[in-house]
Amino acid sequence: MSAPAKLPQYLAANPRLDRWVRFDADGIATIFTGRCELGQGIVTAFAQIAAEELDLAVDQLRVIDADTELTPDEGHTSGSRSTPEGGPALRMACAEVRAVLLAEAARQLDIPVNQLVVENGRITGADRIREVSYWSLPHRELLAREATGQAQVKPVVRYTVVGRNQPRLDIPDKIAGRPRFVADMDLPGMCYGRIVRPPSFGATLLSLDEAAVRALPGVVALVRDGNFLGVIAQREEQAVKARQAMIGQARWSEPGLPTDADDIYRYLETRATVDTVIMKRENPAARARATQTFEARFTKPYVAHASLGPSCALATWSAERIEVWTHSQGVYPLQRELAQVFDLPVESVIAHHVDGSGCYGHNGADDAALDAVLLARAVPGQPVLLQWMRDDEFAWEPLGPAMVVKTRASLDAQGNIVDWSTDIWSNGHTQRPGTSVSTVPTSSLLAAWHLAAPIARIPQGDPAMAGGGGIARNGEPLYDLPNKLVTAHKVEELPLRVSTLRALGAYANVFAIESFIDDLARAANADPVEYRLRHMKNPRARAVIERAATEAGWVPNALSDGSSGRGIGFAQYKNGYGYIAVVIEVAMEPEFRVTRAVAAVDVGMAINPDGVINQTEGGILQSLSWTLKEAVQFDRERITSRDWETYPVLTFSEVPTVEVHLIDRRDEPALGAGETPTGPTAAALGNAVAHALGVRVRDLPLTRDRIIAAMELA
Amino acid sequence: MISHQPDSHEPITFEVNGAPRTVQAEADTPLLYILRNDLKLKGAKFGCGLGQCGACTVLLDDHAINACDTPLWSVAGKRVTTVEGLAADGRLSALQQAFVDEQAVQCGYCISGMLMSASALLRANVQPSPAQIRSALDRNLCRCGTHARILRAVERAAHAGADTGVAR
């Protein structure tokens, strides 16, 4: 007997095989995954992985995602970790299932396992005469066991499903308008809820004419608990009207904010910080060759997730049992936090993931789940569907933190970089459910802080560098530099609520690093592509840079006449995940616009290549939106950007052509794709503007006004 | 259990996806809630309630409108088409099929609004230019960054329509 093999992390934590795969009566297999569909196509990619290992067709599979009653606990679906971490667990689980069932098939057919053929779940010998199937075997009993780690996964060379384009399984329903989202759920007897938030952080309720609200048409219940206010009505428009009336009626006292959107960067740089040296590489001899030193300071505002659909949840409360349907990224952490708020055993809370509007990090989904339960408690037995209004979302979702990034580098006489430092000021990048290490009870859920018996707000946290880090994510340039020093300055005071937003600190850090590299290249009289390659040995990094440049028709050392420009940006996400280089082209006449984006991507094995391309295109365009337009506005009292006019995002007339070229690395592990493009796109855009006009804009967003201001200074 | 009978109001009749429908609700109720909650047509989505994002786009007599800020009284006697009305006999329309063919979806929350704005365009103009497609979709926001695929899908549908005469 061989030694027990090491199981993938999430399979080791959830080793029962029937926790992952079930064969149903109708010739269908159901796959259970603790990861959830966020619009990134993970359900489809996982169906491909399962189909491959089980020798089933994709259309024989049903996928149930993230459900505390049904699926393994895989924590949060975040950080582009589903494919690299969840994929191997599912693959191994399916390989184990196949091995167990084939052993039984071999016994029943009296054919050695290594001579069995499996096709669409039918199991035969080479003679194709005797046949069993997964469904005819006693699969229920056979799968009631734990994974051993002994099964062999299928070698990549035999793949026929993974690594090929697979149309997304959820798209037909969404195209047809069939109900797929939490907001589309409709249970018998369902009521509609809306909430009324305080007008600003720390505001307290002074008075509310409750009777006036209760008298409004259709109002079923008004919920008032400390500073938490909500209303339930028979009809949705009645709930909306009652909410509007409550906003008009309620009187609040507001403590004010310690900074504002113009002052925030000075604020961040002058607060008390916890400083951490993230990495340090020392080579005094190389440093001694320095002949010139350069410094720069980059800023990034608070950015909103701004999911198109406001956060939503459906909840029921009955006999001390909570059931909630949510678009949370982590139903298990949410389950634990809901149990804490209501002081119930964890088993009394059931959370089901249902698709929501696009999710790019920790948004209002978990908060809405608590809101819905707080409302449902007022009407026991009746389902309550709660959706935030647009301004609830903009004013209260956890934002991507504002950041200041300073870079410093020295060049030798040949223009080579001999010394580098990055210093980053930011709040921590997570306040997710379950991330607190505090000894006193705290909650990440917004309404919990507002209750009459509040639970303290979860302290700001920052992911460990082992998980890619938050503040300092991609703060280290991947380039081969003899001296490197990266320091994170975590700002202790927290003026606005923040948490994870797609790529976390990597967006601002890569923007800063890759902008600065271009400035150094210019100082060294070098072409930006050549200069990057000069400092990079990693062949996969070189390959994406070279491929993006080639596909974009990059002309080394090309001069601009001021009417157009092109720039490149590169990163390996988390310095360990997917590689990407992006070339952006801009036109400055008749007006500033981005005309073309060309990217080369290496994510190792691409489970669903078109899915990777779709995610990459989306990451590029979302980053262009952030980089061209987005900044949360706030004054000394409150957030003031509360709709799409005060928080404008990219529109169709501003969208460039987008070309994504995938480098096939099917023998390399899958690395995850969703977050790689954000920083490189931003830097490529800044570099294109610099190429066109000879001026560097270091403050995001790169608006037309900022570019003009930089030209006037030049 | 609380009943769901709306307060008594004058019934309002209009056509939805080819069939006459009569509903009772406050006359100023946004059409979106009528479609989603009374008629159980969940395709049009609530995005902002302000007419700024296009997630709730439906057709009113062939013109794209925001259902979130269109009061019920204003559609009396008119024709409303929702995304559920694009497919015929259970088959996706050429426009919908083009979205599938281009895999022009990420989260999909905006997509029925996109389809309806594109449908309105193609009803008025069977061969729109790329600039006209961008212009027709400019008030529909997509947060996932699916724009490039959506543009390709509408162009594909327009080309298909030029061949068959039925793009929408």
Q: How does pLDDT run across A621-641, given as a tens digit for each residue?
A: 999 999 999 999 999 999 999
Other CB atoms within 10 A of residue A415 CB: 17
Q: Please name the member of B50, B103, B134 whose beta carbon is closest to the beta carbon of A643.
A: B50
Taking residues B88-97, what's their average pLDDT? 92
Minimum CA–CA partner of A379 in chain B: B1
Note the pLDDT of residue B3: 42
Minimum CA–CA partner of A502 in chain B: B144
Say if strands A191-196 and A228-233 run parallel, antiparallel, or are unpaired. Answer: antiparallel
Q: Are residues A309 and B45 in contact, defined by beta-carbon separation less than 8 angstroms? A: yes
- Give the span between the Cα atoms of B168 and B95, in whole angstroms: 5
Q: Please name the member of B4, B52, B92 whose beta carbon is closest to the beta carbon of A175.
A: B92
For A420, which DSSP code? Answer: E
Residue A444 has pLDDT above 50, yes or no: yes
Could you tell me if A180 lies within 8 Å of chain B, comparing CB atoms?
yes
Minimum CA–CA partner of B110 in chain A: A308
CB pairs under 8 A between A and B: 198
Cβ contact, residue pair A180, B82, below 8 Å: no
Token code pair at residue A641: 């950007």
Residue A2 has pLDDT above 50, yes or no: no
Alpha helices in chain B (DSSP H): 31-33, 94-101, 111-124, 130-137, 147-164
Taking residues A173-199, what's their average pLDDT? 97
Cβ contact, residue pair B148, A657, below 8 Å: yes
The helix (H) or strand (E) run that includes residue A171 is: helix A171-176
| d(CA A234, nearest CA chain B) in Å | 6
pLDDT digits (tens, 9 = 90+) for A378-433: 999 999 999 999 999 999 999 999 999 999 999 999 999 999 999 999 999 999 98
pLDDT digits (tens, 9 = 90+) for B22-41: 999 999 999 999 999 999 99
For A362, which DSSP code? Answer: S
Residue A147 has pLDDT above 80, yes or no: yes
Could you tell me if B69 lies within 8 Å of chain A, comparing CB atoms?
no
Q: Exposed, middle or buried by CB within 10 Å (0-12, 13-18, 19+), for A43?
A: buried
Q: Which among B76, B75, B99 has a CA at the least distance from the CA of B168?
A: B99
Confidence band (pLDDT; 50, 70, 90) for A436? low
Q: Is the dihedral of CA B5, B7, B13, B16 positive or negative?
A: negative
| d(CA A318, nearest CA chain B) in Å | 13
pLDDT digits (tens, 9 = 90+) for A469-494: 999 999 999 999 999 999 999 999 99
Cβ contact, residue pair B115, A308, below 8 Å: no
**Cα separations (Å) of A470 from A36, A79, A406, A504, A506?**
22, 10, 16, 6, 8
Residues 465-524 of A with CB under 8 A from B: none
Could you tell me if A170 lies within 8 Å of chain B, comparing CB atoms?
yes
Note the pLDDT of residue B6: 44
Considering only A23-32, A188-197, A520-529, A571-580, which range has the smallest mean pLDDT? A23-32
Q: Please name the member of A235, A358, A655 whose beta carbon is closest to the beta carbon of B6.
A: A235
The DSSP-derived string for A520-569 is HHHHTT--HHHHHHHT---HHHHHHHHHHHHHHT--TT----SSEEEEEE
- Give the span between the Cα atoms of A346 and A339, in whole angstroms: 5
Residue A304: list chain B partners with CB under 8 A: none
- Give the span between the Cα atoms of A605 and A666, in whole angstroms: 4
- Give the span between the Cα atoms of A288 and A530, in whole angstroms: 24
Residue B26: list chain A partners with CB under 8 A: 217, 237
The SS3 call for residue B131 is: helix
Residues 192-221 of A with CB under 8 A from B: 192, 217-218, 220
Residue A391: list chain B partners with CB under 8 A: none
Token code pair at residue B157: 């549908």
Q: Are residues A103 and A72 in contact, defined by beta-carbon separation less than 8 angstroms? A: no
Considering only A79-83, A86-90, A500-504, A513-517, which range has the smallest mean pLDDT? A79-83
- Give the rounded distance of the alpha carbon of B166 from its chain centre: 17
Residues 574-613 of A with CB under 8 A from B: 610
For A50, which DSSP code? Answer: H
CB proximity list for A492: less than 8 A, separation 6 or greater? A271, A272, A273, A274
Over A250-262, what HEC string results?
A: CEEECCCCCCCCC
Cβ contact, residue pair A387, B83, below 8 Å: no
Confidence band (pLDDT; 50, 70, 90) for A674? confident
Residue B148: list chain A partners with CB under 8 A: 617, 621, 655, 657-658
Residues 326-355 of A with CB under 8 A from B: 355
Taking residues A183-207, what's their average pLDDT? 97
Strand partners, A461: A430
- Give the span between the Cα atoms of A445 and A434, in whole angstroms: 10
Rounded percentage of chain A residues whose pLDDT exceeds 90: 92
Note the pLDDT of residue B166: 56
Q: Are residues A297 and A698 in contact, defined by beta-carbon separation less than 8 angstroms? A: yes
Residue A29 has pLDDT above 90, yes or no: yes
Taking residues B127-152, what's their average pLDDT? 97
Average of per-residue pLDDT values in chain B: 92
Q: Which among B110, B105, B107, B102 has a CA at the least distance from the CA of B154?
A: B102
Q: Exposed, middle or buried by CB within 10 Å (0-12, 13-18, 19+), for A46?
A: buried
- Give the span between the Cα atoms of A553 and A550, in whole angstroms: 5
pLDDT digits (tens, 9 = 90+) for A154-181: 999 999 999 999 999 999 999 999 999 9
Residue type, A655: V
Average of per-residue pLDDT values in chain A: 96
Token code pair at residue B28: 């100023």
Cβ contact, residue pair B109, A181, below 8 Å: yes
Residue A164: list chain B partners with CB under 8 A: none
Cβ contact, residue pair A168, B103, below 8 Å: yes
How many Cα atoms within 13 Å fall on the side-chain side of residue B63? Answer: 6
Q: Which among A260, A509, A262, A524 has a CA at the least distance from the CA of A404?
A: A509
Residue B7 has pLDDT above 60, yes or no: no
The SS3 call for residue A394 is: helix
Other CB atoms within 10 A of residue A209 CB: 14
- Give the span between the Cα atoms of A525 and A431, in whole angstroms: 44
Could you tell me if B4 lies within 8 Å of chain A, comparing CB atoms?
yes
Interface test with B, best of A174, A175, A238 (most B CBs within 10 A): A175
Say if strands A384-387 and A191-196 run parallel, antiparallel, or are unpaired. Answer: parallel
Minimum CA–CA partner of B146 in chain A: A618
| d(CA A495, nearest CA chain B) in Å | 26
The SS3 call for residue A403 is: strand
Minimum CA–CA partner of A40 in chain B: B106
Residue type, A489: H
Residue recorded with tokens 């720069």: A296
Strand partners, B21: B14
Residues 91-120 of B with CB under 8 A from A: 92, 96, 99-100, 103, 105-112, 115
The SS3 call for residue A293 is: strand
For A85, which DSSP code? Answer: I
- Give the span between the Cα atoms of A508 and B53, in whole angstroms: 27
Note the pLDDT of residue A466: 92
Residue type, A185: M
pLDDT digits (tens, 9 = 90+) for A229-261: 999 999 999 999 999 999 999 999 999 999 999
Token code pair at residue B103: 């895999």
The SS3 call for residue A597 is: strand
Minimum CA–CA partner of B137 in chain A: A652
Residue A672 has pLDDT above 90, yes or no: no
Note the pLDDT of residue A437: 61
B/e letters for A601-627, b = 16+ CB within 10 Å, e = fewer, are bbbbbbbbbbbbbbbbbbbbbbbbbbb
Interface test with A, best of B8, B12, B46, B129 (most A CBs within 10 A): B46
Minimum CA–CA partner of A37 in chain B: B107
